[in-house]
Structure 1
Amino acid sequence: MITSAAFTEVPLTGKTLTPEQLAFFNDNGYVLLRGFFSEQEMQAMKELRDRATARAGEAGGSFHDGPAHYDVEPLASDPTGKTMGLRKIQEAYQVEPAFREVMAQDKLLDIVEDLIGPNIYYHSSKLMCKPGNGGRRKPWHQDFAYWSGMQPNQVTVWTAVDKATTENGCMQLIPGSHKRGLIEHHQIEDLQIQEDSLADEDILVAEMDPGDTLIFSVLTLHASDPNLSPHSRLSCIIDFDSAPAPEGSQMGSSVPIRSQ
């Protein structure tokens, strides 16, 4: 186990979260906020998906728009492989105003401030569509493994736009795993930990309704199973840092979106 990165407990007073919620986050590495976003806000994300899918159709497939990548792939529901569906918009925050209006509004930044402090820097974002009929699993990992040159006082915000269930590959996480520091990862199916070490773990299966939001430490172990339902599952993901990105970094920002 690599212990160079360590989770820092947050103070038990905040703008929005209760002392009980903050203590829970310190102990478990996550907080689940039911009904945080409205039906209208989630509808705006579905409309963004539809616009992006139409743009990909016009472009003839995946395409770039500045720093953002619009990734499409053949839908498993079409045996001919001709029908394309949106898989994700990488860096949606940077190019899509609708995404920013929902996923970087004050009510969310107030929560993030409670967890990482008053200086908040954008790190990365995705509008993620997990295709039905076998959308692939995401193996067990810590987000911090992807950017371990930065500070670990970061959080990931994962919001269900569609209902997230066991069948369609909802989020799973291991409560308290953030306290272990950065665990060694290997390139296997993806960048991941050795999963045979998880046999005795207590795993939280986080089924979520549209608008529910899961916020977790970038050191919290998490994963998702394949989408075995016939329908796609849409989610929004955005990561926030408490410090600017190191000079030359390809991820993160040197300009805060909120500061003291």
Structure 2
Amino acid sequence: MDDSVFNGYDVTEKMMKSYKDNGFIIIKNILPPDELAQVREALENPKGVRQHAYDVEDGDNEGMFSRMTCWNSPGDDITGLLARSDKIAGIAEKLLGEDIYHYHSKLMMKEARTGGRWQWHQDYGYWYQNGIMFPKMMTINIAIDKSHKINGCLQVLKGSHKMGRVDHVLDGQLGVEPERLKLAQGKFEKVYAELNPGDAIFFDCNLLHSSSPNTSEFRRWMLAMCFNTKSNNPVKAHHHPFYTPLQRVPNSAIKACKDPLNMNGKDFLDPKSSTLADQNITKEIKT
């Protein structure tokens, strides 16, 4: 097994070392089939988080775009219980080494033949602009569909988080400054983070990552959950939250969820009021 791929939810010394050395770890089957089916059903329901979706244009490929929904509070629906669970929040807290809170979550939708690319970037390249002083943050992507090279899976530069934050420039989307990117690509191994449905990748906020357009016939949906640390509370108000205690739940709460479409209090992002630096938003989907 690759040194970045694991089974099981206990954070071992090997997992911690891999995360620190590589900037990411992959955990297989973090959503077993029954839980995955519950989550997928809720995400596909037009009364769920999808109703708040908007477009993010590719920038390079005319007619290509991704769809996204973003919310600040985890809430009590099935996506909120998942974000607050021991196997998501618990692992994130152990990897980051201190108390965490939910910064925001996103449903990222690359539809077949139209799903656009994401430029090479660091999440902290965006979040730095929000008054967050330290890169003590992470993102967790869970594959809802098969996420492989053919349909525009996540690509990462292994170990690139050790560079620290690098400059980003606006070129269609906000991405890493081209000359620095070229140097990084010559130094760090590019890894296609291919995931099967229910697999998850946990990655450092300074890890360089991107994804290609989805020109295949296969949809690629990804649920992303972003966490910040308590000690890293933003120093200015913006469109994502300050520290809010995370109400953790056991893993069993996911399967036991009685109200998977409870949208109360999730605080969905309004693309018209967010910053381009954080979300690369160009227009809102009309539904």
Question: For this structure pair, what is the TM-score category when the shorter chain's length is used for normalisation?
Answer: 0.7 to 0.9
Residue 256 of structure 1 aligns to a residue whose secondary structure is: coil
Q: 1:40 to 1:47 in 2, by over 3 A?
A: same
Q: What residue in structure 1 maps to residue 125 of structure 2? A: 145
Identity of aligned residues (%): 28
Q: Structure 2 residue aligned with 1:42, among 36, 42, 60?
A: 36
Deviation at 1:16, TM superposition (A): 2.3
TM-score relative to the length of structure 1: 0.78
Deviation at 1:178, TM superposition (A): 0.6
Aligned length: 224
Deviation at 1:38, TM superposition (A): 1.3
Residue 167 of structure 1 aligns to a residue whose secondary structure is: helix
Structure 2 residue 199 is the aligned partner of structure 1 residue 212: yes
Deviation at 1:44, TM superposition (A): 2.2
Q: 1:91 to 1:163 in 2, by over 3 A?
A: same
Q: Structure 2 residue aligned with 1:192, among 161, 164, 175?
A: 175
Deviation at 1:247, TM superposition (A): 4.2
Q: 1:236 to 1:217 in 2, by over 3 A?
A: same
* 1:107-128: CA deviation from partner (whole Å, max 9, x where unpaired): 2222111111341111111011
Residue 149 of structure 2 aligns to a residue whose secondary structure is: coil
Q: What residue in structure 2 maps to residue 113 of structure 1? A: 93
Q: Structure 2 residue aligned with 1:238, among 219, 222, 225?
A: 225
- Structure 2 residue runs without a partner (length 5+): 1-8, 57-62, 249-287
Moved more, 15-24 or 134-143: 15-24
* 1:110-148: CA deviation from partner (whole Å, max 9, x where unpaired): 211111134111111101111110310101000001111
1:1-260 alignment to 2 at 5 Å? 16-52=10-46, 69-71=52-54, 87-91=67-71, 94=74, 97-148=77-128, 149-150=131-132, 151-193=134-176, 194=178, 195-200=181-186, 201-243=188-230, 244-257=233-246
* 1:175-234: CA deviation from partner (whole Å, max 9, x where unpaired): 111110101110012110114445524100111101111000000000001112112111
Q: 1:234 to 1:96 in 2, by over 3 A?
A: farther
Amino acid at match of 1:171: L
Tell me, in whole angstroms, the C-alpha distance in 2 between the residues paired with 1:89 and 1:128.
7
- Structure 1 residue runs without a partner (length 5+): 1-14, 57-61, 64-68, 74-80
Contact persistence 1:172–1:223 (CA under 8 A): yes
Contact persistence 1:169–1:224 (CA under 8 A): yes
Q: What residue in structure 1 maps to residue 262 of structure 2? A: none
Tell me, in whole angstroms, the C-alpha distance in 2 between the residues paired with 1:50 and 1:34.
23
Tell me, in whole angstroms, the C-alpha distance in 2 between the residues paired with 1:31 and 1:258.
25
TM-score relative to the length of structure 2: 0.71
Extract structure 1 runs of 4+ deviating beyond 6 A: none
Tell me, in whole angstroms, the C-alpha distance in 2 between the residues paired with 1:39 and 1:235.
16
Q: 1:154 to 1:102 in 2, by over 3 A?
A: same
Tell me, in whole angstroms, the C-alpha distance in 2 between the residues paired with 1:34 and 1:147.
28
Q: What residue in structure 2 maps to residue 66 of structure 1? A: none
Tell me, in whole angstroms, the C-alpha distance in 2 between the residues paired with 1:142 and 1:50.
28
* 1:147-197: CA deviation from partner (whole Å, max 9, x where unpaired): 113121111001111010101001110111111010111001211011444
Deviation at 1:258, TM superposition (A): 5.8
Q: What residue in structure 1 maps to residue 271 of structure 2? A: none
Tell me, in whole angstroms, the C-alpha distance in 1 between the residues paired with 2:48 and 2:196.
28
